[in-house]
Amino acid sequence: MVKSNKNNILSKSDIPIWSLGEDELISRISTDTVHGLTATEAAARLELVGPNAISQGEQTPAWVIFLRQFKSPIVLLLFVAAGLSFAFQEWLDGIAILVVIFINAIIGFYMEFQAGRSMEALKKMVSISVKVLRDGSLSEINSEILVPGDVIYLEAGDMTPADARLFNSAQMQVDEASLTGESVPVEKAPAILPTDTPLAEQSNLLFKGTFITKGNGWAVVTGTGMNTELGKIAHLVGTSDQAVTPLERKLEAFSGRLIKITVGLVVVIFGIGVIGGKPIVEMLETAIALGVAAVPEGLPIVATLALAQGMLRLAHHNVIVRKLSAVETLGGTTVICTDKTGTLTQNKMEVEALVSPGGAWKKRDDEKSLPADSLPKAEYGRLLQIGILCNNADISAQKGDFLEIGDPLETGLLKFALRQGEDINRIRLQCPKLSEIPFSSETKIMATQHQTPEGNMVFAKGAAEDLLECCSFLIDAGKYIPMSPLHHKAWLVEAEKMASSGLKVIAGAFKLDTYDSENLTEKLVFAGLFGLIDPPRKEIPAAISECRKAGIEVVMVTGDHPATAKAIGRQLGIIDSDNTEVVLGKEMPDFENLSAEDKSRWATTKIFARVSPKQKLDLVRVFQERKAIVGMTGDGVNDAPALKKADIGIAMGQRGTQVAQEVADMVLRDDSFASIITAIRQGRVIFDNIRKFVVFLLSCNLSELLVISSVSLLFLHFQLKPLQILFINLITDVLPALALGVTAGSPGVMAHRPRNPDEPIIDRARWRRIVFYSIVLSAGTIGAVYFSHFFIHNSDDWLVQRCNNILFFTLIFSQLFHVFNMGSIAVPFWRTEVVRNQYVWYAIAACICIIIGLYQIGPVRTALSVAPMSPADWVVCIGAGLLTMIIIRLGKHLAFFQNGKL
């Protein structure tokens, strides 16, 4: 192998990469297509060229994020209040309002910055791996450490990780829409092209960011990172802001309506006060206080942070959510269409049975028996050849275990061969591959042509019913016998019998002396059946049971044999009876031709077998027509349309193709169905938490409006100051609301049916609750002033400052204790999710510490118009706050308030 010059990996030449011969390419890029680069050389090149990553542009500067905090209408309203305070020479109030605006901006900046860091952390969790040849062996590595000269293997479903030149391929097609705009996949094959060939016609090159839609091939990396075609146009893309989620749009619209209502209320209260003879300056202060009271400062940013933190929590449960809006949709999922292999099962294939025309072997009948003892030598040998040669996986034994690269079914066949003492590498070297027809979901067959000591041979494997259609003969005791209709039917029955016991059935076939690669799958000789076991995951039955309790329908959609699907479905609890109908793909007409009866049948069927990707898409459309929120799992390149169409597209992280992962809303890192249920549970919890803090903030702010309005309309001598309102909001709008955003969720979160996606964040039942909460909070606050005046001080002298202070502190404690009213009423108070949330206690403790600290600082006490209070006054404030909590808690248990759950 030629060593590269560290200063110049690609030697200079006037001939472009696509016009070089293979030997010229290898010499120019200094690589070896047989053994690949050495680890040492790869590390040196990585040091020279840097990681294989596209620059995402400059991150938003911190100062821009900080200035963004001042753009909302809510902040503008506060600025108006500060301006009016300065205009009427209320210097302290004006300065204090500006200080609070600044403090809110700092808090908002910190939370938005943290949300951004959370999103970046999620991005780092999603890495693209690639099969690369280094030091003579094939391994999977992170695509970011690819370097020019690396030899890579790509197959259908892979994303091209770098620019590369093909030197070997089989029926490869590539989707280059992301680069050229061409919507139809283009053919790719090794060739030497003219130097003036345009980019869209460079059929021997693969480009970073494009997808392999069919076939497979080997290529040499020619460019990485910004030195790719995608890198050259990266500056056109630039950075893009995170799209605003539907929830954020609803909250923004809600805040806008709230401000309009507040302005109207301010005008009315101001007018009534002036007409009633109150001084204009006093009424203006009241109007400013009303405006400040109506502002839920923490609402938008707390919602965004709750979604982002929810995504991080899901990541810890092996679920990577790629789109923020998906977090909102998760909790409303009503139907999950799930694959079987690897999602419901362990995806650990082991050969459990072999059946050939001359005999049968079953591992479970006798663990000590060997296939060679039960099958004729010729048939057993052919089945081993098929399993080893018609196979793109790789495997090696290491310390009593196996290092597996490739499809689990294919690695299962190789493990079986290794255990029978076969030397896989020796057999593959003796029988080099000449051509290949890759497996596709349409044909359900894979065939390879090899040069063997017996001459050119074809080996094929695939679904029994499809491969038998291609067989003209069968082998029995070394003799080739014509395949009669009776033989054909008998083998279909045998396959059905094996599948009904839960085995995945794969047929094997071969033929001799063929040179026509166009007809590899014609006139094959049937060799027998492989039966592979893929045990169900242990956690799945409980997850499916939880789905049923939560009103979520689970539908198995698989390409496997219907009998296998039914056996697994029965074991897992998807179906309750062996008599349950299974709909076959061949019985499913196109969506355009579906009758109402067909749609009704599909909507009530639990298992679909031998289904194509196109039929998955049609199934999603049928469910969505019936107003269902559909989650669809997928792993193949052809599953992408269904994943994109589904309300929640769910890709597999371990066995899923990069195409599927790219279009999905979420990726399961462990491929387990149980992780989907965890995600739905977390989705419901996140949405419930958002509802909790929205209800909490609105009821607190509305209670402030009611207190100020009531005091003004009753012409009482005391009133809350704008600065006091700002302080209350600073205390209650941030820490308690943030704590509610990370609540673990109520015990019954999965015990009710999914919510209607059209249902607003705050429905009528919750609006009734908000009004009730606000009335209790405001009545308790004003009542505390009267109680203190008549029962504690027993005086006719209404001291304005004392009344103001009791009003001020009672409202603070009422709102702090009100956070406990956000818990479920389905369990005792001390067991509610809010009471058990340690962060709520931390938030309340921090708020009380802030109150005590500020009360001890003279200038702050003066700014807030707070005078020293007696112990009895403090007891009244705290007692009234606890009383309002108890009244609200009792009220929640009344039948009128049990229409919705908080």
Residue type, 573: G
The model's pLDDT over 856-890, given as tens digits with 9 standing for 90+, comes to 888 888 878 888 888 999 999 999 999 999 999 88
Alpha-carbon distance 556 to 571, whole Å? 13
Give the sign of the dihedral formed by CA 876, CA 880, CA 883, CA 887. Answer: positive
Residue 597 burial by Cβ neighbours in a 10 Å radius (0-12, 13-18, 19+): exposed
Pairing between β-strand 553-557 and β-strand 607-609 as defined by DSSP bridges: parallel
C-alpha 60 chain-centroid distance: 24
Alpha-carbon distance 770 to 896, whole Å? 13
User: What does the block give as tokens for 71?
Assistant: 């753009």
The set of catalytic residues is 339
User: What does the block give as tokens for 259?
Assistant: 């401000």
Instruction: Give the model's pLDDT for residue 838.
Output: 93
Q: CB 337: neighbour CB atoms within 10 A?
A: 24
Instruction: Give the model's pLDDT for residue 241.
Output: 45
Alpha-carbon distance 386 to 445, whole Å? 13
Asked if residue 554 lies in contact with residue 336, where contact means CB atoms within 8 angstroms, the answer is: yes
Roughly what angle, to the nearest 10 degrees, separates helices 280-293 and 673-713? Answer: 170
Alpha-carbon distance 305 to 115, whole Å? 5
Residue found by looking up tokens 């007018």 in the block? 271
Q: CB 463: neighbour CB atoms within 10 A?
A: 20
List of the chain residues with pLDDT < 50: 1-8, 235-243, 895-897, 900-902
Asked if residue 255 lies in contact with residue 300, where contact means CB atoms within 8 angstroms, the answer is: yes
Task: Provide long-range contacts, Cβ within 8 A and 24+ apart, for 664-667.
Answer: 664/322, 664/634, 665/321, 665/322, 665/323, 665/326, 665/329, 666/314, 666/319, 666/320, 666/321, 666/322, 666/323, 666/326, 666/330, 667/126, 667/319, 667/320, 667/322
Beta-carbon contacts of residue 600 (< 8 Å; ≥ 6 apart) = none
Asked if residue 506 lies in contact with residue 462, where contact means CB atoms within 8 angstroms, the answer is: yes
Asked if residue 682 lies in contact with residue 317, where contact means CB atoms within 8 angstroms, the answer is: yes
